[in-house]
A and B are shown apart, each in its own frame.
Chain A
């Protein structure tokens, strides 16, 4: 057999063997949970989302979240309507997205069970505005899965979300966001 072809075959089979291994570096979920709370003097606004997509590349620490704004569930119907129509304008801006990085990625042993602190930096796009965001969280490695948690705050004014003057006194500009995702290894 020609030397070159043989080398090619070896290289190709090497690729075949290693490609799935490389893909195992990635973890994902499509049913992550993100909640938010904004506590004002009179009104507390609270909602939860149960279909958050999240992908983490454990090799590079690249982290990505995608959220469909209409998927936030409120207890009060009027609040949900106002949230979609007046505040985040979900018809115009249907998605929110975060693209960032686990800054201390090398501190996390993704193959060893345990709880690790994670510091995340990146860009959050919401209501058509993109801002830098930084948050602390935890990654819990257990039986090959990752449980990722974080709580951080954003300001509505940073994302051009305006509160009508009438209710300005009663509502808070600060929103506390809670992230809770269980990521499975991505098998290809």
Chain B
């Protein structure tokens, strides 16, 4: 009798643990990048050139990674959510487009064009320009401004 109880009790505990884990996984939100260490630290123009010269190998190297990109602010675009900061050479159409995380919003007010900053974000890929009019871009999202 007591043995049976222990077994049943054990099963209940396991089910509860699994349910809790499942519930946690199901509701897990996408993690903010403030406390995540970057896998690569790169220069904005060097990163663009790496993708332009060989998109496939750059994709293999960088996709699904967290990048800390250092560069000159080319443009600050307000938009839906926290906006986008574009890093790169102002004379070049290409750039690194960093879509800011909503948590980074308060810091953007003090930023100015031409300033050198480091932005940490999740790389989402390379948008190659086929028209020759727009320039090619490396895109990052969930971006936060590194101290």
Contact = CB atoms under 8 A, between A and B. Distances in A.
Contacts of A75: 29-30
B25 A78 contact: yes
Interface string A67-83: 01111011111101000
A73 B25 CA distance: 17
Nearest to B24: A78
A76 B125 contact: no
Contacts of B139: 51, 68, 71
A153 interface: no
A68 B77 contact: no
Interface stretch (A23-31, A103-111, A119-127, A165-173): A23-31
A186 interface: yes
A53 B134 contact: yes
Given A28-B134, A70-B124, 9 more contacts: A48-B80, A50-B79, A50-B141, A51-B97, A51-B124, A68-B139, A71-B124, A94-B125, A186-B133
- 10 tightest A-B CB contacts, nearest first: A68-B125, A71-B124, A70-B124, A77-B28, A77-B30, A68-B124, A94-B125, A51-B139, A31-B79, A50-B99
Interface of A: 23, 26, 28, 30-31, 33, 48, 50-51, 53, 55, 64, 66, 68-71, 73-78, 80, 91, 94-95, 180, 186, 188
Interface of B: 25-31, 59, 63-64, 77, 79-81, 84, 97, 99, 122-127, 131, 133-134, 137, 139, 141-142
